[in-house]
């Protein structure tokens, strides 16, 4: 029997991708507003006009003028006959993958390495905060995946390098770890929803390329659905209603945002990117957060230098 290992691997990859790829046509049919929430650009949107994330990649421009790098991704460009335009990295051609790696340094991380890195962060945080049993403190921990791609460090629905689905109990993203604790400890829907929203409000990621932003946001939404279906009280394993999905999608649309990570601006613009401060209940420029963190770090460094100088004087 004729057998080609490369062809077999490719077929397996395609089958895996089909299992995990979120279909924009399905989202549109379920609720057009839900898809719009996953496409919206919160930084540039005003009360008078909605703006959407930019393509910010040249990989789609052959499809027409509306697919150029500086154009917005609107629902009509990724649904209907264009419903298969957005795909995970593993479903893209090898040539396109190489071009994205060369042009935007796009490299995805295998799930076992994601697990090692997230576990190290979690273990170090527990040691520094002397946390042993307070799962609520862990859920409240604010975490950020920089240049997040399809957000494998946040939620690992599948291995980003193979598209192989990952069982719910074996997922390793930092949001997964929080949701696993919530599913373990919350016995009622009210309590579960309260902590699930807190977990999502404290999980952030930014990315340059617009297709990755949509994929990441979709992954976070479907992660919510997966954990909702697996709760103790949801004996029928039903999905959350559309209104609840919209509520979570609104959080996701703020917390997974498009940004040039070097300039803190919307790609190829001078507009400072905004995220949402859920504790203060207001939008804030990401650059302001970085500047304030640098200032605090410098103050701590100076205080440490003064203390060291004083200790040295006492030891003379």
pLDDT tens sequence across 226-252: 999 999 999 999 999 999 999 999 999
Total-model pTM: 0.90
Give the three-state DSSP class for 307: helix
Greatest Cα pair distance in the chain: 84
Q: Which residues contact 145 (CB under 8 A, 6 or more apart)?
A: 151, 153, 154, 174, 204, 205
- Neighbour order of strands in the sheet with 203-207: 143-145, 203-207, 256-258
Domains of the chain, by residue range, sit at: 5-256
pLDDT recorded at residue 6: 45
Identify the DSSP state of 10. H
What stretches in the chain show pLDDT beneath 50? 1-14
- CA nearest to 213, candidates 261, 161, 257, 157: 257
pLDDT recorded at residue 98: 87
Question: Taking the alpha carbons of 299, 305, 306, 307 in that order, is the dihedral positive or negative?
Answer: positive
pLDDT recorded at residue 5: 42
- Between CA 96 and CA 208, with CA 219 as vertex, the angle to 5 degrees is 50
Bridge partners of 292, per DSSP, are: none
- For residues 288 and 279, give the distance between their C-alpha atoms in angstroms, rounded to a whole number: 16
Q: What is the CA radius of gyration of the chain?
A: 21
Tokens representing 188 are 């009622």
Contact 90, 13 (CB under 8 A): yes
Q: Does an H or E element contain 145, and which?
A: strand 143-145
- CA distances (Å), origin 116, targets 55, 120, 250: 32, 6, 30
Tokens representing 50 are 């909605």
- CA distances (Å), origin 105, targets 161, 208, 209, 270: 15, 11, 11, 22
CA–chain centroid gap for 80, Å, is 25
Print the SS3 string covering 238-297. CCCCHHHHHHHHHHHHHHEEECECCCCECCCCCCECEEEECCCCEEEEHHHHHHHHHHHH
């Amino acid at each position: 029997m004729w057998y080609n290992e490369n062809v077999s691997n490719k077929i397996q990859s395609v089958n895996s991708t089909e299992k995990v790829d979120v279909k924009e046509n399905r989202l549109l049919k379920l609720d057009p507003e839900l898809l719009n929430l996953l496409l919206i650009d919160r930084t540039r949107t005003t009360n008078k006009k909605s703006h959407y994330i930019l393509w910010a990649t040249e990989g789609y421009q052959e499809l027409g003028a509306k697919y150029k790098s500086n154009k917005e991704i609107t629902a009509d460009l990724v649904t209907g006959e264009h419903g298969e335009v957005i795909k995970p990295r593993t479903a893209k051609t090898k040539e396109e993958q190489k071009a994205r790696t060369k042009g935007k340094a796009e490299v995805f991380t295998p799930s076992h390495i994601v697990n090692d890195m997230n576990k190290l962060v979690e273990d170090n945080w527990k040691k520094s905060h002397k946390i042993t049993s307070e799962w609520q403190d862990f859920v409240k921990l604010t975490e950020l995946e920089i240049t997040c791609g399809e957000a494998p460090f946040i939620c690992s629905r599948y291995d980003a390098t193979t598209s192989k689905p990952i069982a719910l109990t074996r997922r390793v993203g930092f949001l997964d770890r929080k949701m696993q604790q919530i599913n373990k400890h919350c016995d009622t829907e009210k309590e579960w929803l309260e902590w699930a929203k807190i977990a999502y409000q404290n999980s952030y990621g930014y990315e340059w390329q617009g297709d990755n932003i949509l994929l990441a946001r979709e992954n976070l939404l479907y992660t919510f659905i997966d954990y909702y279906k697996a709760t103790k009280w949801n004996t029928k394993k039903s999905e959350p209603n559309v209104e609840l999905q919209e509520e979570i999608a609104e959080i996701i649309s703020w917390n997974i945002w498009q940004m040039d990570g070097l300039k803190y601006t919307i790609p190829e613009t001078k507009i400072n990117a905004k995220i949402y401060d859920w504790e203060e209940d207001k939008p804030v420029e990401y650059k302001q957060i970085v500047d304030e963190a640098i200032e605090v770090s410098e103050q701590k460094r100076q205080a440490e230098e003064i203390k060291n100088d004083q200790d040295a004087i006492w030891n003379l």
